[in-house]
Chains A and B, each alone.
Chain A
Amino acid sequence: MNRLEKTLPRPKSTTIYGYLLPGTLIYVFIVLIPLGLSIYFSFFKWSGGLSKAFIGLRNYGDLIQDAKFWFSFRNNMIITVLSIIGQLGIAFVLAVILQAKWVRFREFHRTVLFLPVVLPAVVVGFIWNLIFSQDYGILNGLLRSLHLSSWIRPWLDDPHIVIYSVTVPIVWQWVGLYLIIFMAAIQSIPSDIYEGAEIDGATGFRKVIFITLPLMMDTLKVAVMLCIAGNMKIFDNIYVMTGGGPGMSSTVMAQYAYRTSFNQFKLGYGSAISIGMIVLSLTLILLSRRLMGGRTVER
């Protein structure tokens, strides 16, 4: 950085700021001002019309006692925990297998496993709606043909299982991303470490546990953070799959904020929910960063 400056003539500050202005302005307009507005509106009881009553912190008092909000946060947490186990676990196992010399069709697997990542979450939701469908879904069809009819469930209509049902597509969609991240990390492990271990008699499974896993710790931490950040803002799939229902059973925070603001027109309270959601997400991200020790790697 400093080396570069010595040789490149530095333009006038006004020029630099001039070039940086468009990006900054757009950002201020779309992120910072709305954020400020959100805080401002959260102090009001407001249904979107002309009358707006200042109520101080009462929205936040309500929010803290709002069982529905905490229930939707709980749903975010269930999805996050299952995703960390499911996405990262599956991705890790597949990444280890894919790195082995004897694996066939590596390129094919990589391409196919990553494909769901680029699909719109809305479409992933619709596809899984079809899979879970009561009469015409593949899942129930499969169970029927395996003579497991007793396992057939109304996957998206049973309030006790729906939160797990909506998690499956989320895991399905994102395994590929973590797979590729893990594969890159495994590739960067120098091969002589493995060779040394082989001389000492280490076999496949032990090499994974004692070499691959420890050397991938930094990447795993980044992956956990990404997973938390991603699942705190989950919305699209669930919106199209269940709309948060039946009842509240699959409602997540973003869905709750949406419903409160746009279906019930409580814009003041909706703003407070939004702020609560941002605070909770950032806290969890920073907390996970802290708990896993130190700063994450920059690549």
Chain B
Amino acid sequence: MNARTVVTGGKLLANLLLAAFSVFCVFPILWVLYSSLKNQAAFSRNIVSLPSSLHFENYSKAFWDGELYRYLGNSAFVAAVSVVLTIAIGFVTGYFLSRFSFRGRNALYAMFLFGMLVPTYGLLVPLFIEYRNLHLLDSRLSLVLPEVTFALPLVIFLIESFMKSIPTEMEEAAYMDGASLTSSLFRIVFPMCRPILSTCVIISFLNIWNEFPFALILINTQELKTVPVGLTNFVGQYTVDYPQLMAGINVSILPVIVVYLLLYKRIIQGMVAGAVKG
């Protein structure tokens, strides 16, 4: 055995290791995907085989009888309102933090950084009490403020570091032409930030869509629950029917998977930048 075969063998082994891990990552998801089209009898005969007949009724049942349509609608509503607010507030805050120095700037910056580090789950109990005392529990808008708050730091930091990379000339020119701060902010700067803003939209959407513990404690009414919490109800109802369960899981992650497959480059970039910043 000479050196060359050892090297080739090493490369082969490395490629195999990589492939094995990719399979390990994706197979559980695929398994849930194709098994969801079986019926329980076929599934219990052989848990890994591909379905021999397709049972799409699992999906209509999950969607309608399992009330996933309702949870999807609620999640879409909460996500839409929260993302718009997050972007608006995050953009303005990030802009002022990066462009100007003012008294309290560092304190404000530290506060948002603290927001990325603090284990938000420590706020579950007190936030519940605060909401209960102010009668804010159990409304269609209950989740908006917490979702915005937890999505905000990442957006602020992404905008802030993006602003550092673009020169001030355009804003100066706008002032020369007599534009006000507000119009320069929204007519000039906002469009320039479009690439980073779209990254912010996608990542906040994913985080808000996936958020579980606050949705669990702040919403009690069945009709107002979001997907992750609604899914736990659904799973509780169908514990014995595995393919049915899997269909429900798939319906609930479909939006996430679609967004990911369309935009994975942006998502990966933005999440890594945000993570390393924190």
Contact = CB atoms under 8 A, between A and B. Distances in A.
B253 interface: yes
A113 to B, nearest CB: 5
Interface in B187-222: 206, 209-210, 212-213, 216-217
B129 A26 contact: no
Chain A binding site: helix, strand, loop or mixed by DSSP? helix
Interface residues of B, number: 92
Contacts of B18: 94, 97-98, 103, 109
A162 interface: no
A104 B11 CA distance: 10
Between A118, A121, A131, A239, the greatest number of chain B beta carbons within 10 A of the residue's beta carbon is seen for A118
Contacts, number: 266
Contacts of A98: 18
Interface stretch (A60-68, A190-198, A257-265): A257-265
B242 A31 contact: no
A27 B212 CA distance: 19
B249 interface: yes
Contacts of B272: 177, 180-181, 184
A291 interface: no
Contacts of A261: 124-125, 128
A226 to B, nearest CB: 6
Given A104-B15, A298-B277, A127 B181 contact: no
A240 interface: yes
Nearest to A37: B126
B110 to A, nearest CB: 12
Contacts of B92: 19-20, 22-23
B210 A120 contact: yes
Contact of B126 (A34, A118, A128, A282): A34
Given A113-B21, A181-B276, A121 B212 contact: yes
A103 B12 CA distance: 9
B212 A38 contact: no
A129 to B, nearest CB: 8
Given A13-B103, A41-B126, A114-B267, 10 more contacts: A15-B181, A19-B92, A22-B89, A34-B126, A103-B15, A119-B253, A127-B28, A128-B28, A257-B125, A278-B118
